[in-house]
Amino acid sequence: MIPAAFEYYRPKDMDGVLSILEEHGDDARVMAGGHSLIPMMKLRMADVPHLIDLQDVGGMSDIELTADSIRIGALVTQADIIDHARLAAAAPILREAALQIADPQVRYMGTIGGNVANGDPGNDMPGLMQCLNASFTVVGADGERDIPAREFYEAAYMTAREDEEVLTTVTIPLPKGGYAYEKQKRKIGDYATAAAAVQIVKDGSNCVSASIAMTNLSDTPIYSEDASAALVGTAVDAAALDAAVAAMLEDIDPTEDNRGPIAFKNHVAGVILRRAITRAWSRA
Amino acid sequence: MPKKMHIKLNVNGKDEEFLAEPRELLIYTLRERLNITGPHIGCETSHCGACTVTIDGKSVKACTIFAAQADGKEVTTIEGIGGPDDLHPLQNAFKEHHGLQCGYCTPGMITRATKLLEENPNPTEEEIRFGMAGNICRCTGYQNIVKSIQAAATEMNAAKEAAE
Ligand SMILES: Cc1cc2nc3c(=O)[nH]c(=O)nc-3n(C[C@H](O)[C@H](O)[C@H](O)COP(=O)(O)OP(=O)(O)OC[C@H]3O[C@@H](n4cnc5c(N)ncnc54)[C@H](O)[C@@H]3O)c2cc1C
Ligand code: FES
Ligand code: FES
């Protein structure tokens, strides 16, 4: 399995990256960890005549925590996220989700920027970022702009990022309350059959805010506003759980594939969301 | 035709320099160019871990990285971990505890396990299974691989204590 030939570049700064992207347009692509892109190139499902390795571009490998937000550089790996104690304390859902991605070898290489920019509905970080209401900073020839995660995904492998833009930073408002990332997969290391990211805030015995996003159940991640709203003002009892699951099922649109038929996916989505809400509530 | 690149690697302590096309995957550099055939090709699709090597302190599947990406880095393969006359405690433990049958997965298993024990010198069974999840074995059923890693950990910890 040998990819088609390409030119390889390893620029030292973002200006270098942007000028190659501008020169070659559609024929150029950036690579971070390469653990989505290289498999696609080997299968010849991705043709990349000009490959730009980001590893030497500085300033994208930091995790910064402030009083109200978290900034994660695009080149931070899943292993970095798992190992960062202060990040795990501030936003434990990130570590819980990262531990459910792939296997140790892949997590050393795979980056948060690559995971959210890729646009594969199977990736776990996009749904998580929608749940957390993150935004992505991208830079291009005309400068920087921020795109909310909830508006970033258009279709499989189609995102609001332009081809000549590079994603540099993921910014997450400091999450509040209980959390859970639940994922059903066929075996360890596999992409999700269904996954749910949930954050819930509790006041007294009632839920005052909730955020729910689902993974690999449509051609984009699904932030379900209605499922989230179904929990607010309730004590997250059986009726509220039923209502949230019913609302989520209205929003997703799974297709049949080697992970199962549509009815099975809907069933698993319900089971996983119930588990995630129950666990997040128990931690709220 | 893209031009060949001048690539430098340090493999098992030895500097290597060569010209290669950018699309050359590290596993082919090791096996076919440098004749280092410990790392195996099992699946070639990033799933089995038979090709696992260590690059600058990280376990990496050598079938999923271009040699060009590793330019300037240190690579360790099973050959750099121990040989027939100086077996690493993990190699010895796999031998003693029947941690291999056909042996195809073993170089990747042991290379990965060296990093696992570096990061967590005293792993539980569950931590071993989770930390070895990127390596597939079609023969052993994993039980004896877990046992071998536990035995090596005990031996390595005892040796460390004795040295202190
Ligand atoms: C065996 C295996 C199992 C896996 N299982 C899972 C799983 O369970 N869940 C999961 O979420 N993922 C999984 N992955 C994918 C893995 O997490 C990838 O590493 C990740 O999706 C992409 O990150 P990367 O840094 O490797 O990106 P790359 O492969 O380098 O890039 C992916 C895409 O994003 C683009 N890109 C990368 N960085 C940027 C940037 N900064 N700006 C703009 N565009 C960019 C690239 O051009 C490319 O199109 C698995 C991979 C393997 C090999
Ligand atoms: S050959 Fe590289 S993971 Fe299987
Ligand atoms: S011993 Fe045969 S594959 Fe592991």
B69 and B97 in one domain?
no
Of B22, B44, B134, the CB nearest to A103: B134
B151 and B103 in one domain?
yes
Specify the amino acid at residue A168. T
Beta carbons of A104 and B59 less than 8 Å apart: yes
| Overall average pLDDT of the A230-242 stretch | 98
Whether pLDDT at A66 is above 70 = yes
| Overall average pLDDT of the B4-24 stretch | 97
B95 and B58 in one domain?
no
Return d(Cα A118, Cα A120) in angstroms, integer.
6
Across the beta sheet with A63-65, the strand order is A63-65, A69-73, A166-173, A135-140, A143-148
B102 and B75 in one domain?
no
B37 and B66 in one domain?
yes
- Disruptive mutation site among B8, B21, B23 for chain A (greatest number of A CBs within 10 Å): B23
B148 and B104 in one domain?
yes
Q: Does B2 touch chain A (CB under 8 A)?
A: yes
CA of A110, closest atom in ligand 1? 19
B75 and B93 in one domain?
no
Produce one character per residue of A42-55: b if its CB has 16 or more CB atoms within 10 Å, e if not. beeebebebbbbbe
Pocket flag, ligand 2, residue B42 (CB < 6 Å): yes
List the domains of chain A with CATH numbers: 7-53 (3.30.43.10), 63-172 (3.30.465.10), 179-283 (3.30.390.50)
**Given B80, B109, B130, which residue is the final one in a domain?**
B80
Residues 184 through 223 of chain A touching chain B, CB cutoff 8 Å: 188-189
Q: What is the DSSP string of A7-62?
A: EEE--SSHHHHHHHHHHHGGGEEEESS-TTHHHHHHTTSS--SEEEE-TT--S-S-
Q: What is the DSSP string of A209-268?
A: EEEEEEESSSSS-EE-HHHHHHHTTS---HHHHHHHHHHHHHH-----BTTB-HHHHHHH
pLDDT in tens, B124-139: 999 999 999 999 999 9
Q: Domain range spanning residue B21?
A: 5-80
Q: How far is B84 from chain A, CA to nearest CA, in Å?
A: 27
Closest ligand to Cα B142: 3
Closest CA to A282 of A213, A229, A215, A236: A236
The torsion of the CA quartet A234, A236, A242, A248, rounded to 10 degrees, works out to 90
Mean pLDDT of chain A: 97
List the CATH number of the domain containing B115.
1.10.150.120
Closest ligand to Cα B61: 2
Report residue B3's pLDDT band, with 50, 70 and 90 as the boundaries. confident
Return d(Cα B53, Cα B63) in angstroms, integer.
10
- For residue A174, the 8-state DSSP code is P
Return d(Cα A107, Cα A35) in angstroms, integer.
9
Helix, strand or coil, per DSSP, at residue A118? helix
Q: Distance, CA B61 to ligand 2 centroid (Å)?
A: 6
CA of B61, closest atom in ligand 2? 2
B100 and B35 in one domain?
no
Q: Does B113 touch chain A (CB under 8 A)?
A: no
pLDDT in tens, A9-43: 999 999 999 999 999 999 999 999 999 999 999 99
- For residue A168, the 8-state DSSP code is E
Q: Are the C-beta atoms of residues A214 and A270 closer than 8 Å to each other?
A: no
List the CATH number of the domain containing B11.
3.10.20.30
Whether pLDDT at B1 is above 70 = no
**Given B33, B54, B80, which residue is the final one in a domain?**
B80
Pocket flag, ligand 1, residue B47 (CB < 6 Å): yes
Residue minimizing CA distance to atom 17 of ligand 1: A110
Beta carbons of A38 and B64 less than 8 Å apart: yes
Residues touching ligand 3 (Cβ under 6 Å) are B 100-105, 137-140
Of B46, B68, B130, the CB nearest to A39: B46
B144 and B125 in one domain?
yes
pLDDT in tens, B32-88: 999 999 999 999 999 999 999 999 999 999 999 999 999 999 999 999 999 999 999
Q: B98 CB contacts (<8 Å, ≥6 apart)? A: B140, B144, B148
Q: A47 CB contacts (<8 Å, ≥6 apart)? A: A4, A41
Beta carbons of A108 and B2 less than 8 Å apart: no
Q: What percentage of chain B exceeds 90 in pLDDT?
A: 98
**Given B80, B113, B140, which residue is the final one in a domain?**
B80
Q: Does A44 touch chain B (CB under 8 A)?
A: no
For residue A270, the model assigns a pLDDT of 98
Beta carbons of B44 and A42 less than 8 Å apart: yes
B75 and B102 in one domain?
no
Tokens of A96: 């819980």
| Overall average pLDDT of the A50-74 stretch | 97
Whether pLDDT at A1 is above 90 = no
Closest CA to B99 of B88, B31, A104, B161: B88
Pocket flag, ligand 1, residue A29 (CB < 6 Å): yes
Whether pLDDT at B164 is above 90 = no
B93 and B70 in one domain?
no
Number of structural domains (chain B) is: 2
Q: A14 CB contacts (<8 Å, ≥6 apart)? A: A57, A59, A139, A166, A168
Q: Are the C-beta atoms of residues A180 and A171 closer than 8 Å to each other?
A: no
pLDDT in tens, B105-159: 999 999 999 999 999 999 999 999 999 999 999 999 999 999 999 999 999 999 9
B159 and B93 in one domain?
yes
> Interface pTM (ipTM) of the complex?
0.97
Q: Are the C-beta atoms of residues A132 and A123 closer than 8 Å to each other?
A: no
